[in-house]
Structure 1
Amino acid sequence: MSLPLSSSSDLAMRKDLVRLRMEMNRQQILYHSQPLAHPFRRLSGIVGMGSRHDHSDTHHSGKGPLMIAATVALALFGKRLGKLGKLARLGITLYPLARRLRH
């Protein structure tokens, strides 16, 4: 078992430690609950409708609505397409890189 506390300073340190642990746990819960509390923030950032998305060509990631639709379609039906599906997935993966090299 633990030893009894010998002085009030030990007790104060223990209380501070418990407070810090509780605050850390509260911050972790808050951090991990954000995607559950606001699920459309991440989606709007991906699609490009978010307020933090910059529409200049230098920061454009190439993830337009058509690109996202193609990625979803290949994720769902790519295995059925065989080698063509593999090539299409490779093309979608390399497209942003080729676009950046072009600019």
Structure 2
Amino acid sequence: MSLPQLPHNNSRAEMRKALIRLRMEMHRQEIRHESAQLLQPLQRVRGMSQNLHDGFGIKHAPLWGVAAVTLLGFLTGKGAKSGGASSLTRLVRLGTSLAPLIKLVMQTSRKN
């Protein structure tokens, strides 16, 4: 932010130009300030989403999300077949789809 220099000669036209430059700089600063205030909630949300991964120590968050959706789908969804075997089949599918996540959790717990 550099303010315009005042003219050395005090002619009326030069003083008017300097005044206009000062006003334009003031308007630029107002616009910067107002836009920063408008973007502040967005910055907070971005910071919260970043802190969610960092602060809670959630590693592989997308994998956890997929696992949660899969688990909810298997527990609340209705199968195409109905009968006693469908619940067993559903549990087998759940186990095979969550196997990579379980393996990952077990590996990280052994390292710590």
TM interval, short-chain normalised? 0.3 to 0.5
TM-score by length of 1: 0.36
TM-score by length of 2: 0.34
Decide which structure has the larger Cα Rg and report it. Answer: 2
Structure ranking higher in helix proportion: 2
